Amino acid sequence: AQKVTQAQTEISVVEKEDVTLDCVYETRDTTYYLFWYKQPPSGELVFLIRRNSFDEQNEISGRYSWNFQKSTSSFNFTITASQVVDSAVYFCALSANTGGFKTIFGAGTRLFVKA
């Protein structure tokens, strides 16, 4: 079975703090893809990053960074020096061979960044 767990329902930080959003996934496949999406208050779902199971290299994009660790089945997302505009719901997602590469989502983490 495939599953994505985002244990943090809501996180509240003050602007300029760093924050890490956790994502733990379950799959028996060796070929799979992991994603993060952002859903701002306006409601659209915005793709942020994709990682494949063969590439554990961490990635940094501006204030965003992602830590992929197969040993712990985690794909965590860190926002450095958070800003009010980062306030949104963030979703982690998984697509794997056994599921026909359907994309399933975690429950999401709602991030509040206060000025």
Residues that bind another protein (CB under 8 A): 33, 35, 37, 43-45, 47, 50, 52, 91, 95, 99-108
Amino acid, single-letter form, for residue 84: V
For the bound state, the minimum distance from the C-beta of residue 81 to another protein, rounded and expressed in Å, comes to 26
Amino acid, single-letter form, for residue 104: I
- 7 vs 45, which CB is nearer to another protein? 45
- 15 vs 29, which CB is nearer to another protein? 29
For the bound state, the minimum distance from the C-beta of residue 58 to another protein, rounded and expressed in Å, comes to 18
- 28 vs 47, which CB is nearer to another protein? 47
**Nearest CA to 30 among 103, 105, 98?**
98
